[in-house]
Chains A and B, each alone.
Chain A
Amino acid sequence: MKTSKRLITGLFLLCLLLFFSFVFSVSVGAVSVEFSHTVKILMNRVFNTGISNIDAVQGDIILRIRVPRVFLGMMVGASLSIAGLVFQALLRNPLADPYTLGVSAGASFGAGLAIFLSYVVGAFMKNFLPVFAFFGGIATVFIVYLLARTRGRIQVLTIILSGVVVSYLFSSGLVLIMALLGDRAHEVIFWLLGSLSGYHKWLPHAAGISIAIICFTFFFFQDLDLMALGDDQAKALGVNTEFVRILLFSTTSLVTAIAVALTGTIGFVGLIVPHSMRLVFGPRHKVLIPASAIAGASFLPLSDALARTLPGLIFGSSMEIPVGAVTSLFGSPFFLFLLMRGKKKYWF
């Protein structure tokens, strides 16, 4: 079926939103930089148009601090949205999000372990925190998969339950670490709150992998559509459900683990962006996959921009609200609005 004009317009609007999100997020921050300066700095970086009378500090603020942060936000937003979308399709469960298989619990545990070791073994361990977090996330998915295998096959309900149990297990491990850390537990808490600052040096590699995986996922849009019919019928129509599940769970868990390793646990995005896109564009994954990726990539940097500037505007303080709080605060009403409008023809 030809993708209708309406859908194409919708996607185009989303791209505009992405562009706006980028420009807006880069233009606001704790230090106010004139918009014309921002534009000049960006243009110069891309097209070498020259920045004669602009403070080098402002250039640093825009290019070294804000732009990487926005790119990271775009990457993580897209990754979490796609992961949420795929999990919802594969598990046929509207409450599924990227952390259903326990990735966040495992990654948090890994991060906590790295922080703990930095006190016990040596401060250099902190550099490996993203690595620990990443492998913690991957390990949990692996364990969940092993637990959920019955007679060589995976049942949907078993996977969800295994994910819940393993999450609890790793969360308790994390709580234990925090108790052992005692007065220094605040480091773990900072990490758990989730933030887009820091660890930008891994960004190019992480982004490359994430984009590759998102594109790869796109080619399974038909399989994802058919999974909605149920395992039996999907199989009867020729979908290799076992293989598709394992493959897509692995790739999306990988992408989620990367996101969490770099930014901590940012919730809500992976749950709400796919549902919002479904309400607007319908259930076909051929459209949903690009739409969710673009929407997620716009939503997170915008939320982060608000997180960085709202405390200054409202309270006059230079505090930053954790970005996860902003995504829920502003995302929930928007989602409820969409839900009220479209709930007739929606899921379940």
Chain B
Amino acid sequence: MGEAVHVNELTVHYDQDPVLKGVSLSIDEGEFVSILGPNGSGKTTLIKALTGLIHDIEGEVSLFGKPIRSYRRKDFARHVSFLPQDPPTTIPFLVHDIVMMGRFPYIKRFVTGRAEDREAVQRAMKLMRIDHLGKRHLMELSGGEVRRVFIAQAVAQESSVLFLDEPTANLDINYQVEIFRILEKFNREMNKTIVLITHDINHAARFTERVILLKEGEIFAQGEPVEIISMENMKSVFSTDVCIEYDGNNRPYILI
């Protein structure tokens, strides 16, 4: 398995304040990684730097061995998807249109309506079980359905690396579980590399194989969930006392 993402001494400033300080990490192909940390620790900035959405950075970020700056936009988009924290729900497009937007990296400017694009969209919608919603307006759907639409968009993008910023925030529990299950499937069956930010430590512990814990712009610790999610670390990073139990698979879960 090759290295998907490599970061070396990444530093990002916002008006003189350092948001990320000398972060180095590497993510292999097929890994399922979660990034945890309190608000302001730099999680979103880290993901935006890794997806090329922030230019003003010091240090190196590379994808599959090449610095991301050297990729052309559309090229990069064929490899990497990004699902932001609050996808827009009030835009007037149909579900089918939104998923089709995921094909943009493959569609040349003067050519449209190719069969392969239509098929990719169909496949993605089937996979996410939203094919019956094709002609509906995005605004009519529930929160969970909207997230599924945008994940379908990422699927249609046929990228091998998915970055997600809090994909389960504000969703009902059934949707939360469903989305993690889907991501698990992408990871296990389709070998996609998945990196997600979440506030839900239990979900991260249950589903992901590596946890990166950020504190004040630096990597506090990273490793398997059972190592990282400990009472000392939680006290250090989140300044709170918690009780931790372990389930049958030796995965930690936090009791409040």
Which residues of A line the B interface, CB within 8 A?
1-2, 151-153, 219-220, 222, 225-226, 228-230, 232-233, 235-240, 278, 282-284, 286, 345-348
CB–CB B118/A1 < 8 A: yes
CB–CB B97/A229 < 8 A: no
Q: Report the Cα distance A236→B112, complex, angstroms.
A: 20
Q: Closest CB-CB distance, A276 to chain B, in whole Å? A: 14
CB–CB B107/A222 < 8 A: yes
CB–CB A238/B76 < 8 A: yes
Given contacts A151-B56, A238-B105, A240-B73, contact A233 B87 (CB under 8 A): yes
Q: Closest CB-CB distance, B87 to chain A, in whole Å? A: 7
Is B180 among interface residues, defined by CB-CB distance under 8 A?
A: no
Besides A2-B113, A346-B92, 16 new A-B residue pairs in contact (Cβ under 8 A), listed by A number: A1-B97, A1-B113, A1-B118, A222-B104, A225-B97, A228-B88, A229-B101, A232-B53, A233-B88, A236-B53, A237-B77, A238-B78, A239-B104, A282-B92, A283-B93, A345-B137
- Tell me what chain A mostly uses at the interface: helix, strand, loop, or mixed: loop
Q: Report the Cα distance A78→B132, complex, angstroms.
A: 38
Q: Report the Cα distance A315→B184, complex, angstroms.
A: 75
**Contact partners of A286 in chain B: CB under 8 A:** 112
Mark contacts of B125-140 with chain A using CB atoms, 8 A cut-off: 1 yes-contact digit, 0 otherwise.
Answer: 0000000000001011
Closest residue of A by beta carbon distance from B137: A345
CB–CB A229/B88 < 8 A: yes
Q: Report the Cα distance A240→B104, complex, angstroms.
A: 12
Closest residue of B by beta carbon distance from A236: B82
Is B74 among interface residues, defined by CB-CB distance under 8 A?
A: yes
Given contacts A238-B76, A346-B92, A347-B90, contact A1 B100 (CB under 8 A): yes
Mark contacts of B77-101 with chain A using CB atoms, 8 A cut-off: 1 yes-contact digit, 0 otherwise.
Answer: 1101110100110111110110011
CB–CB B74/A230 < 8 A: no
Q: Report the Cα distance A345→B87, complex, angstroms.
A: 18
Is B22 among interface residues, defined by CB-CB distance under 8 A?
A: no
Q: Closest CB-CB distance, A215 to chain B, in whole Å? A: 12
**Contact partners of B87 in chain A: CB under 8 A:** 229, 233
Q: Report the Cα distance A226→B91, complex, angstroms.
A: 11
Q: Closest CB-CB distance, B134 to chain A, in whole Å? A: 10
Is B52 among interface residues, defined by CB-CB distance under 8 A?
A: yes
**Contact partners of A228 in chain B: CB under 8 A:** 88, 91, 93
Q: Report the Cα distance A1→B94, complex, angstroms.
A: 12
CB–CB A230/B88 < 8 A: yes
Residue of A2, A232, A238 near B104 (CB, 8 A) is A238
CB–CB A238/B113 < 8 A: no
Is B62 among interface residues, defined by CB-CB distance under 8 A?
A: no
Q: Closest CB-CB distance, B83 to chain A, in whole Å? A: 8
Is B11 among interface residues, defined by CB-CB distance under 8 A?
A: no
**Contact partners of B198 in chain A: CB under 8 A:** none
Closest residue of A by beta carbon distance from B91: A228
CB–CB B51/A236 < 8 A: yes
> What 5 A-B pairs are tightest by C-beta distance, nearest first?
A238-B77, A236-B82, A238-B74, A238-B105, A283-B92
| Contacts of B31-86 to chain A: CB distance below 8 A | 48, 51-53, 55-56, 73-78, 80-82, 84
CB–CB A237/B97 < 8 A: no
Centre residue among A222, A282, A284, A348 by max chain B CB count within 10 A: A222
Given contacts A1-B100, A230-B84, contact A237 B105 (CB under 8 A): yes
CB–CB B76/A226 < 8 A: no
Q: Closest CB-CB distance, B172 to chain A, in whole Å? A: 24
30 inter-chain pairs at a CB distance below 8 angstroms, sorted by A residue, are A1-B97, A1-B113, A152-B55, A219-B109, A220-B109, A222-B112, A225-B93, A228-B88, A229-B101, A232-B53, A233-B84, A235-B52, A235-B53, A235-B73, A236-B51, A236-B77, A236-B81, A236-B82, A237-B101, A238-B73, A238-B75, A238-B77, A238-B78, A238-B104, A240-B73, A278-B92, A282-B94, A283-B92, A283-B93, A345-B92
Closest residue of A by beta carbon distance from B80: A236
Closest residue of B by beta carbon distance from A283: B92
Is B102 among interface residues, defined by CB-CB distance under 8 A?
A: yes
Q: Report the Cα distance A1→B114, complex, angstroms.
A: 8
Q: Report the Cα distance A239→B74, complex, angstroms.
A: 7
Closest residue of B by beta carbon distance from A348: B90
Q: Closest CB-CB distance, A184 to chain B, in whole Å? A: 49
Is B157 among interface residues, defined by CB-CB distance under 8 A?
A: yes
Q: Report the Cα distance A225→B53, complex, angstroms.
A: 19
**Contact partners of A284 in chain B: CB under 8 A:** 93, 97
Q: Closest CB-CB distance, B11 to chain A, in whole Å? A: 16
Is B246 among interface residues, defined by CB-CB distance under 8 A?
A: no
**Contact partners of A346 in chain B: CB under 8 A:** 92
Centre residue among A222, A230, A235, A236 by max chain B CB count within 10 A: A236
Q: Closest CB-CB distance, A158 to chain B, in whole Å? A: 15
Q: Closest CB-CB distance, B16 to chain A, in whole Å? A: 12
CB–CB B73/A345 < 8 A: no
Closest residue of A by beta carbon distance from B14: A151
Given contacts A2-B113, A225-B97, A345-B137, contact A239 B88 (CB under 8 A): no
**Contact partners of A278 in chain B: CB under 8 A:** 92
CB–CB A345/B74 < 8 A: no
Given contacts A225-B101, A226-B104, A238-B105, contact A232 B48 (CB under 8 A): yes
Q: Closest CB-CB distance, B32 to chain A, in whole Å? A: 20
